[in-house]
Amino acid sequence: MSTTPPKVLILEDEQQLRCQLSTYFEDMEVFHVVEAETGEEALVMLRSEPADLCIVDIRLPGMDGTAFIRASVQEKLCRHFLVHTGSVDAELHATLVELGVADRSIFLKPCDLTRLLGRVRELLRPGKKQEFVLDRKL
């Protein structure tokens, strides 16, 4: 009996960082990793095949990461979100928490990839309740 590996989408506009994250997760764990450079591209991908977890940069060209998370939650395209950002803006942090992103799911760049992986493992562990992060009107 084979199980499908969890799907992780990495949304990052910096190609080098996107590749680093993708390679790390593919090498360290059994994940199906997909990458997107823009929020718009990521939404198209998720509408075709939803993800179990998205690692999201906030400052992106076009649709920013916050708008991407909001749209993904409204359409129920992903269950969990980790934010990987260089911004320490308190207002941004409050907005992310309102969207259902837990404090410990917000990582400042550069972050310890081992800590990031630990949070991914925690969220995607077998037997964890399978539900969307948020089920309220935005």
Per-residue pLDDT averaged across 101-115, rounded? 86
- Statement: residue 70 has pLDDT above 60: yes
Per-residue pLDDT averaged across 26-55, rounded? 93
* Secondary structure (3-state) at 138: coil
Tokens 């920013």 map to which residue? 64
Put residue 116 in one of left, alpha, beta given phi > 0 → left and psi -120 to 50 → alpha. alpha
The pLDDT assigned to 104 comes to 86
Higher-confidence position of 34 and 130? 34
Mean pLDDT of the residues in the chain: 85
Cα–Cα nearest to 102, from 75, 71, 79? 79
Higher-confidence position of 72 and 4? 72
- Statement: residue 26 has pLDDT above 90: no
Tokens of 4: 């499908």
- Name the band, by pLDDT with cuts 50, 70 and 90, for residue 135: very low
Per-residue pLDDT averaged across 10-16, rounded? 95
Please, what is the angle between helix 65-74 and helix 39-48, to 10°?
A: 20
The one-letter code for the residue type at 38 is T
The lowest-confidence range among 4-8, 36-40, 46-50, 105-109 is 105-109
- State the Cα–Cα distance between residues 51 and 38, nearest whole angstrom: 16
Instruction: Please give the class, per CATH, of domain 7-111.
Output: alpha beta
Domain boundaries, the chain: 7-111
